[in-house]
Chains A and B, each alone.
Chain A
């Protein structure tokens, strides 16, 4: 009986084991079939990067020649960007090989380091154009770029740890994450780098939304934001007067083409001369010192001038492809942390693209927001591509349902 029972027990155990194994085998099959990054996501990233590098070359050639005063240096800015693009691609593939769960383990230390770096900026930072945003460690880079990723990982961590998450989604739970995040935001705000604060704020909101934070939190945040906004507005004429200036410019860009609205008018000139097919690649006239730093925030205007509406539609189309695949990765991610991380990274790109396009077309006041994959900037490109590596890694481990 006992033997029988034992046999029965053993049989039952075997059956359980075999069922679990079957389950695992199915998983293995899925893993084998899908243990590769999302094709469309990778394609969108690479195409955007290729097009972006090309545009950086075209947009920067004139400025490069002017700054150096010789034909040979037309490629100066392109060379730098190309080097960083190569480094970035290598970084992206390397990161995509690291399991996100490894990264997840380093979330809190990484977040801490970023806060420390932001603090360091205030101490030994480098200033350009009256803004102290850069650290020089061999090369200049903005810790705020890193901090964007850190915030995403941190929030994903907070909303995915079961013990923490159930508190965090409640009203008072906001304290858990809002205080650490706001330390960084505060450090960025005093650089000053308002557009970065705006981006981090929007990304944080989107992640709270995805993390199922309850409605009362938003209401309280809204009230708090309104209060803070009033204080800021009261102080605006002292500290943030450039924001109100930009609003004036936005409302009436032709009011004074020589002064504040110069950049936006030059951007509109560039876009409008493009027409349907554009002037042709490399033939932008506006890049010739009319549009200041045409390879930076306003690179899309040069693209619109050279490649026309068709080119713009292609670029926006590629971004839509990226965003779609990015959110799909978030939807099909294997767990809550990866899902939230993918959601955050995609949202970060989305917010930046939307705001940049809106600024370039004078649909919102001018803020210095670069266009991901396009705008010139070595380290930020590397950091961007590293985050793409995380996204790709998550996509490798995804369960492909539907979208």
Chain B
């Protein structure tokens, strides 16, 4: 107050003037009644408002944090559209890296309808859509009307065409560039391709439309490993479907699938499939067949074939006999395909193993010490529970024989009696131990369960002992034979060796051999092998004999449920080679051979297939041939060379063949037209006494220069090596013994005409071959 009056005294004049107006103003304030209670309301209202604001802020927090994910996902789906970049499915290769299933790059073409709509020049949407549809149908060969419908449909991204070659994709890209088209996209894709068509079809299986494994095989079993993670091209779009300018396009790279390395060998698989097909045709096999080749020590499946085959690149093609009105990929068709060509008989079908099962019974008998190869047994018919079991040679059975002979002769009563001696419990304990009552666990889908009597009686066991009235899968039998071959270890069949990363080739997962259990002892295994070798050497399995490789095995001719109606037998042979150091186990199964040449029999139809395959496979695997006495004596069958000079070439060839000789045309092309040509000269000459299988060199003109070679020094060579060396040179050997060469009829270094006969003297130092 003092302050005011002091300043007032300083400007008296001005103060007086302002005073007046201010007083007036001040008094006018007073004229209105100030009501403090009105003002009091403000505090209450303000507090209430702040509370409400807090509630609304909490509502935001609820939406943004608690419900954030829920709505964000929906918003994301609404705002983002993407095109998928498919991941390359992994390769499937055989054990040597040969490609069996690969993914090849392809293209697909997408359109974005709303972008097309929004980018039409001069707003002439219809014309723009038609132009694009016309362009696409011209380049891709798709239907114009269909394409136009797709372009005019609502939504974003419509697939126009897929599985296009990359060149076609490039054409579309160029067209887009030249015509400045918007809303048409060419994206990478992959297509599954099987370079060998039908090879290993049941093992591999195939993929469906979206590159997923279907129906059977590795493509299904390892689908998750083979399938990669698809990538995406993500763009943010507005409600009209235009890509937003500020939101950069994100590209998620796809991760390719893993590669799978199988245990199978493509070459062996090929041999097996060819042999099976030939056998099917030759023996007029009606219900197909299967061949399994395994390595006994590791359980590796080297080959597995099931006939009929199908082309993996056209899995929906009509199977034989269904061509009329075939519709392809319908439910009905798929059902037929699943029951016929897609069926892997080696896994999904069970059959009665027949006599091939006797090896198992024999193993049990020997393991239990009940029999050995020299035990005397009787082939007399066995009467049991009102049934009579007699030998296949009815009325003329093999009588009293050693057990080894019984195996050789495949005498049913002997095995029935043996099983009775073994006893129910022990017998079925071994059946389980051999893995017949469980799935083998091979990494393929569709393995069938075996069928055994649930509460077997003695008669059940007695027929089971020779493989009748039980149903097992071929792979089970092959696995059991592996145990017999490898010293008694039951292994799990292995089909996948390892899985590797497609980028780095680093092994992601390896599958080691799984030994389930020791079923029989090593000595039992050896003893059984020895007996089985005799089956091939001089018993029912002699058709599987291979010179140079000791083959053990057992034939089987088994009945089926329809045997009495249509005579359907299953002819099979299960072999082990070489018997002294088993490398492979092979099972050949032919379902219902109906050849006019003879009744169904494992020995007649299946054994030769096995024999041929064993020779081919072991040769391919570079397993050394070791000739035995038996081989040598077979080889030393000699014959007189027939006189073929003066005959027409074709007659001469036929004549030589019929006498067991080979031939070679020295001065003519064998594939050319041979009519009118006659044989002028032959080496070796008429009446030479040489080993059968020798090669006769034929000349169509006497004036033709004679082909010569230099005689090598063969002293110290084994017979095999000597024969091989001479055969390579085009010379013929005539040996009088087996063993080592001690002298040769022509001294080393001499020039000789091809086809000449060399007489070798040998001394047999080899004792191992006795046995």
When the two chains form their complex, are residues A206 and B45 in contact, meaning their CB atoms are under 8 A apart?
yes
Q: Which segment, of B103-111, B238-246, B362-370, faces chain A?
A: B238-246
A273 at the interface (CB under 8 A from B): yes
A21 at the interface (CB under 8 A from B): yes
Instruction: Give CA–CA (A334, B30) in the complex, Å.
Output: 9
CB distance from B413 to the nearest CB of A (A): 80
When the two chains form their complex, are residues B32 and A337 in contact, meaning their CB atoms are under 8 A apart?
yes
Quick one: closest B residue to A338, CB to CB?
B32
| CB contact between B57 and one of A285, A316, A331, A337 (< 8 Å): that residue | A316
Chain B 78-111, CB-CB to A under 8 Å as 1, else 0, gives 1100000000000000000000000000000000
A23 at the interface (CB under 8 A from B): yes
When the two chains form their complex, are residues B75 and A286 in contact, meaning their CB atoms are under 8 A apart?
yes
Chain A 317-337, CB-CB to B under 8 Å as 1, else 0, gives 001100110011011111111
The 6 A-B residue pairs with the shortest CB-CB distance, nearest first, are A288-B238, A272-B71, A269-B75, A335-B32, A289-B239, A331-B39
List the A side residues contacting B46 at CB < 8 Å.
Answer: 323-324, 327-328
CB distance from A241 to the nearest CB of B (A): 27
CB distance from B615 to the nearest CB of A (A): 72
Instruction: Give CA–CA (A162, B237) in the complex, Å.
Output: 63
Quick one: closest B residue to A278, CB to CB?
B64
Known: A25-B4, A28-B22, A337-B32. A288 touches B67 (CB 8 A): no
List the B side residues contacting A327 at CB < 8 Å.
Answer: 42-43, 45-46
CB distance from B482 to the nearest CB of A (A): 62
Instruction: Give CA–CA (A286, B74) in the complex, Å.
Output: 12
Instruction: Give CA–CA (A361, B52) in the complex, Å.
Output: 13
Known: A272-B63, A324-B50. A288 touches B239 (CB 8 A): yes
List the B side residues contacting A160 at CB < 8 Å.
Answer: 32
Within 8 A of A (CB), among B1-49: 1, 4, 8, 19, 22-23, 26, 28-29, 32-35, 37-43, 45-46, 49
Given contacts A272-B68, A290-B239, A336-B35, 6 further A-B contacts (CB under 8 A): A212-B35, A272-B75, A273-B71, A289-B238, A330-B39, A357-B53
Number of interface residues of B (CB under 8 A): 52
Q: In terms of DSSP, what is the predominant structure of the interface of chain A?
A: helix
When the two chains form their complex, are residues B4 and A22 in contact, meaning their CB atoms are under 8 A apart?
yes
Number of interface residues of A (CB under 8 A): 68
B686 at the interface (CB under 8 A from A): no
A302 at the interface (CB under 8 A from B): no
Within 8 A of B (CB), among A330-363: 330-337, 339-340, 343, 347, 350, 353-354, 357-358, 361, 363
CB distance from B580 to the nearest CB of A (A): 75
Known: A269-B74, A339-B38, A340-B38. A289 touches B57 (CB 8 A): no
B620 at the interface (CB under 8 A from A): no
Instruction: Give CA–CA (A273, B52) in the complex, Å.
Output: 24
Instruction: Give CA–CA (A66, B244) in the complex, Å.
Output: 12
Instruction: Give CA–CA (A160, B32) in the complex, Å.
Output: 8
Instruction: Give CA–CA (A312, B59) in the complex, Å.
Output: 11
Known: A24-B19, A319-B53, A337-B32. A275 touches B65 (CB 8 A): yes
Instruction: Give CA–CA (A330, B37) in the complex, Å.
Output: 12
CB distance from B26 to the nearest CB of A (A): 5
Q: Which residue of A272, A304, A350 has the most chain B CB atoms within 10 A of its CB atom?
A: A272
- Chain A to chain B contacts (Cβ below 8 Å), 13 pairs: A24-B22, A210-B45, A269-B74, A272-B63, A276-B65, A283-B247, A330-B42, A334-B32, A335-B32, A335-B34, A336-B33, A336-B34, A363-B56
A313 at the interface (CB under 8 A from B): yes
Q: Which residue of B1, B63, B70 has the most chain A CB atoms within 10 A of its CB atom?
A: B63
When the two chains form their complex, are residues A25 and B1 in contact, meaning their CB atoms are under 8 A apart?
yes
B236 at the interface (CB under 8 A from A): yes
Quick one: closest B residue to A210, CB to CB?
B41
List the B side residues contacting A361 at CB < 8 Å.
Answer: 56, 59-60, 63
Quick one: closest A residue to B74, CB to CB?
A269
List the B side residues contacting A388 at CB < 8 Å.
Answer: none
B61 at the interface (CB under 8 A from A): yes
List the A side residues contacting B52 at CB < 8 Å.
Answer: 354
A389 at the interface (CB under 8 A from B): no
| CB contact between A304 and one of B38, B50, B64, B239 (< 8 Å): that residue | B64
A299 at the interface (CB under 8 A from B): no
Within 8 A of A (CB), among B683-704: none
Known: A24-B22, A343-B42. A313 touches B57 (CB 8 A): yes
B599 at the interface (CB under 8 A from A): no
CB distance from B74 to the nearest CB of A (A): 6
Within 8 A of B (CB), among A158-211: 160, 162, 206, 209-211
A271 at the interface (CB under 8 A from B): yes
List the A side residues contacting B60 at CB < 8 Å.
Answer: 271, 304, 309, 312-313, 361
B124 at the interface (CB under 8 A from A): no
Within 8 A of B (CB), among A1-51: 20-29
| CB contact between B50 and one of A323, A333, A363 (< 8 Å): that residue | A323
B509 at the interface (CB under 8 A from A): no
List the A side residues contacting B79 at CB < 8 Å.
Answer: 285-286, 290
Instruction: Give CA–CA (A23, B250) in the complex, Å.
Output: 74
CB distance from A154 to the nearest CB of B (A): 17
B72 at the interface (CB under 8 A from A): yes
CB distance from A304 to the nearest CB of B (A): 7
A308 at the interface (CB under 8 A from B): yes
Quick one: closest B residue to A23, CB to CB?
B26
When the two chains form their complex, are residues B38 and A211 in contact, meaning their CB atoms are under 8 A apart?
yes
Chain A 257-275, CB-CB to B under 8 Å as 1, else 0, gives 0000000000011111111
When the two chains form their complex, are residues B238 and A363 in contact, meaning their CB atoms are under 8 A apart?
no
When the two chains form their complex, are residues A272 and B43 in contact, meaning their CB atoms are under 8 A apart?
no
When the two chains form their complex, are residues B63 and A24 in contact, meaning their CB atoms are under 8 A apart?
no
List the B side residues contacting A350 at CB < 8 Å.
Answer: 49
Instruction: Give CA–CA (A323, B37) in the complex, Å.
Output: 19
Quick one: closest B residue to A325, CB to CB?
B46
Known: A276-B64, A354-B52. A62 touches B22 (CB 8 A): no
A282 at the interface (CB under 8 A from B): yes
Within 8 A of A (CB), among B214-250: 236-240, 244, 246-247
When the two chains form their complex, are residues B49 and A309 in contact, meaning their CB atoms are under 8 A apart?
no
When the two chains form their complex, are residues A354 and B59 in contact, meaning their CB atoms are under 8 A apart?
no
Q: Which residue of B59, B64, B240 has the most chain A CB atoms within 10 A of its CB atom?
A: B64
When the two chains form their complex, are residues A289 and B63 in contact, meaning their CB atoms are under 8 A apart?
no
List the A side residues contacting B50 at CB < 8 Å.
Answer: 320, 323-324
List the A side residues contacting B4 at CB < 8 Å.
Answer: 22, 25-26, 29
When the two chains form their complex, are residues B64 and A308 in contact, meaning their CB atoms are under 8 A apart?
yes
Instruction: Give CA–CA (A347, B52) in the complex, Å.
Output: 13
CB distance from A388 to the nearest CB of B (A): 18
Known: A23-B26, A312-B57. A269 touches B71 (CB 8 A): yes
When the two chains form their complex, are residues A283 and B246 in contact, meaning their CB atoms are under 8 A apart?
yes
Instruction: Give CA–CA (A360, B65) in the complex, Å.
Output: 16
When the two chains form their complex, are residues B22 and A271 in contact, meaning their CB atoms are under 8 A apart?
no
Chain A 198-236, CB-CB to B under 8 Å as 1, else 0, gives 000000001001111000000000000000000000000
CB distance from B51 to the nearest CB of A (A): 10
When the two chains form their complex, are residues B23 and A290 in contact, meaning their CB atoms are under 8 A apart?
no
Q: Which residue of B23, B41, B236, B237 has the most chain A CB atoms within 10 A of its CB atom?
A: B41
When the two chains form their complex, are residues B59 and A212 in contact, meaning their CB atoms are under 8 A apart?
no
When the two chains form their complex, are residues A272 and B19 in contact, meaning their CB atoms are under 8 A apart?
no
Instruction: Give CA–CA (A339, B43) in the complex, Å.
Output: 13
When the two chains form their complex, are residues B238 and A62 in contact, meaning their CB atoms are under 8 A apart?
yes
Quick one: closest A residue to B66, CB to CB?
A272
List the B side residues contacting A340 at CB < 8 Å.
Answer: 38
Quick one: closest A residue to B60, CB to CB?
A312
Q: Which residue of B26, B29, B65 has the most chain A CB atoms within 10 A of its CB atom?
A: B26
List the B side residues contacting A330 at CB < 8 Å.
Answer: 39, 42
CB distance from B44 to the nearest CB of A (A): 9
Quick one: closest B residue to A25, CB to CB?
B4
When the two chains form their complex, are residues A343 and B41 in contact, meaning their CB atoms are under 8 A apart?
yes
Q: Which residue of A270, A283, A339, A353 has the most chain B CB atoms within 10 A of its CB atom?
A: A339
| CB contact between B59 and one of A162, A283, A363 (< 8 Å): that residue | A363
